[in-house]
Structure formats: C-alpha cells, structure tokens
Amino acid sequence: MLIRQEPEGLYCEAGGFYIDPTRGVERALITHAHADHARRGSRHYLCAEPCRALLETRLGKKQSIETLAYGETCLINGVQVSFHPAGHVLGSSQIRVSHRDEVWVISGDYKLHPDPTCARFEPVACHHFVSECTFGSPIYQWPSPESQWSRLRQWWQRHQQMGVNSLVLGYSLGKAQRILHACHGMEGPILVHTSIHDCIPAYQAQGIHFPPYQILSTSTLRAHDGKALVIAPPSARVEHKLATPEHWEIMGVSGWLMTRTQRRKKGQCHGLIVSDHADWPGLLEAINASQAHTIHLMHGDSRMLEQVLGSEGRQVMRMERSTRKIETSSEGS
Ligand SMILES: [Zn+2]
Ligand SMILES: [Zn+2]
C-alpha cells in the first residue's frame, strides 16, 4: 500500500514523508493548521500556499515551510503530490498522492457547505480515499449557514436592546473568522479575542476581508458595555473573567450542538449549528465523488458509515490514529 498508518501518523514509504504526523519527522505534509494536524518538531514542512501564513502563526516563523498552489504538482522521491481545497478552514487541503498507477487522497478535515473564508471543497478522483468521519451519523444534517447567521443577528440585536453583552464561542482558527465574516452588515461593536485576531492577517493576505472590530480588553469592553458582540475561543474561558456575569448571554457555534445532550454537556442552551466538518450527507457525497474503491475512515465513530458503505459493496477500512484523546478535544468542529 502506498500509504500506511505508523505511530507517527500516515506514512508514504515510497516518498519518505508523513501526512499530519503526530510528532517531529524529517518531512511532513500538512493538510491544515489546526493543532491536531500541524505539530512542531519536523524538519521540513509542505502545505498549500494559502495555509503557509497560518502555519507560521502556529509553528513559528523559523520553520522550513515549502508550499504548492492548489492543483500544482511536485515529485518527492518519484511520488507525485498535490494539494486540493478541502473547504474546512483557510488553506485546508486534501492531499493527493500518486505512484505507479495507485492514487490516494487524504482528506484531512473537510466540509462541503459554502464558507466564504476558504476555498470550496473540490472532489478529486482516486483509488483510496482517506476520509474523516467526525459526524458519522445520519442525525447530523446541517441547516444552511445563512439561517444560522440570521439567528445570530437577531440574538445580538435583542441583547443590545436589553443592554446585555453577547458572547459567541468559536475556535480561534477557522470558526471564529467565519463568525466574524458573517457579521458583515450587522450593527454594533465587535470585540475579538487576541488569539482570533492573530490569524486575521493570513486571511487578509488571501483577499478575505472582515467587518471592523476591536481587540477584546477590559477597556474596550468597558467602552461598549451592554452593546458588544464578543467572539472568543471556548478555551479562553472569557466568560469566567466577565465583570458582570448577569449582563451576558453566551452562545456556542458547533456541529455538536445539533444534539440536546451535547448542548447540556456544554452548559449552553443557545447554539448555532455551524460546523467546519462534513455532515452525514456531506460525507456520503464526498466519498461517492472520490470514486474510490477503498475508503479508509479516521477521526470519529466510523461504525455507521462502515455499515452503509459496506452494504454498497465498497471496501471500508478503519485507520486508527494514536491521538484519539487529542482528537476528541480538537479544534474546528
Ligand atoms: Zn481541523
Ligand atoms: Zn481534525
């Protein structure tokens, strides 16, 4: 097999490279800049061109990072490699690897729903498709993002009239920029956590523009108290630092909020169902579009997909990563 699972991650022996390795290796191909896919310690990195600035933000500027434009090919020890849009976050890629008539596509994380902050998922034909299955159950079917953003608008407006601040929680890379971009045309002050702000230049460099905002601080909060929309990552736990908890309403933005138990677990009654991963119909569509005879599933509970694809006569294999613990708390859901 051209690609196989090693303790360090997906490995292409013929090419001598890893894809999204879990620890430092000689040559790492990176699907996207989320922490569970892009790790420090490798000697050489290769990613899609729009991913570069984000990778530098995450790993540091001193790394050796080479890039390819989407669709551009290169040879690594005789193995042909190219990157194709995955629609997950800015710069996210499916990686196509081909050698001696065998073609693999490693999808990384992907989604099919439209997202103005990154290039749209592009199906790539292959023999072996390595697919994530974070939301591998028919209960996950996303509403249109537009319907969710208009809920955000109404929610924020209502709070402004009541003199209450609105806190929206989204991961600092990808989700938060998607939320901020959706605020185009909404009225009122937007305050953004600094970890979200740090990623903004990478977006602007790709021609993606955002409505005006200020960086979240005690003084900007004080200046806009009772009117502000604050965007922050859940990990920043800004809700615990708020001076007047009674003057806040909090909303999560995640695919997991589709189910009531998850909402309860997260302590949130409100939530926008917006995900950067494929929902059930998206997974099936992407897998079909790949035309692959063998589907390798990773990230998430693959049992239902295995059943459905198996009943269609497809070869289905489970690819285990050694980092499931990290994956469950990973970014970008
Ligand atoms: Zn991701
Ligand atoms: Zn991931």
Whole-structure pTM value: 0.93
* Residue pLDDT, tens place only, 297-311: 999 889 999 999 999
- Domains of the chain, CATH where assigned: 4-140+276-328 (3.60.15.10), 145-272 (3.40.50.10710)
* Residue pLDDT, tens place only, 100-139: 999 999 999 999 999 999 999 999 999 999 999 999 999 9
Predicted confidence (pLDDT) at residue 8 exceeds the cutoff of 60: yes
* Residue pLDDT, tens place only, 129-176: 999 999 999 999 999 999 999 999 999 999 999 999 999 999 999 999
Residue 69, number of CB atoms within 10 A of its CB: 10
DSSP string, 91-158: T-EEEEEEETTEEEEE--S---S--TTSPPP-----SEEEEE-TT-STT--PPPHHHHHHHHHHHHHH
Q: What is the distance in A from the centroid of ligand 1 to the CA of 148? A: 21
Q: Which ligand is nearest to the CA of 328?
A: 2
Predicted confidence (pLDDT) at residue 259 exceeds the cutoff of 90: no
pLDDT at residue 172, as a whole number = 95
Q: For tokens 């790709």, name the residue.
A: 206
Q: What is the distance in A from the centroid of ligand 1 to the CA of 76? A: 25
Which among 154, 139, 89 is positioned nearest to 255, based on CA atoms? 139
Q: What is the distance in A from the centroid of ligand 1 to the CA of 133? A: 12
